[in-house]
A = this chain, B = another copy of it.
Amino acid sequence: MSSSTRQPRRGDTRKRIQDVALELFAEQGYEKTSLREIAERLEVTKAALYYHFKTKEDILISVFEDRTRPIRELVEWAEGQPHGLETKKEVLNRYSEIVMDAGPIFRFMQENQATVRELSIGEMFKDRIFELMAILKEPDAPLADQVRCISALITMHAGNFHLQDAEGDPEEKRAAVLEVAIDLVTQAHAGQGGK
Which residue numbers of A lie inside 8 Å of B, CB to CB?
A: 26-32, 108, 110-115, 117-118, 142-144, 146-148, 150-151, 154-155, 158-159, 162-163, 166, 168, 172-173, 175-177, 179-180, 183-184, 187, 193-195
Chain B residue numbers with a CB within 8 Å of A166 are 143, 146
List 20 additional A-B contacts (Cβ < 8 Å) besides A31-B115, A180-B184: A29-B114, A29-B115, A29-B118, A32-B118, A110-B113, A111-B112, A111-B113, A112-B112, A114-B115, A142-B176, A143-B163, A143-B168, A144-B176, A147-B177, A150-B159, A150-B162, A151-B151, A151-B180, A155-B155, A179-B194
A-B pairs with the 10 shortest C-beta distances? A29-B114, A143-B176, A111-B113, A31-B31, A111-B114, A144-B176, A151-B155, A147-B180, A144-B179, A112-B114
Chain B residue numbers with a CB within 8 Å of A113 are 110-112
Report the bound CA distance from A126 to B194 in whole Å: 31
Q: Which residue of B lies closest to A176 (CB)?
A: B143
Contact A147 B176 (CB under 8 A): yes
Chain B residue numbers with a CB within 8 Å of A172 are 143
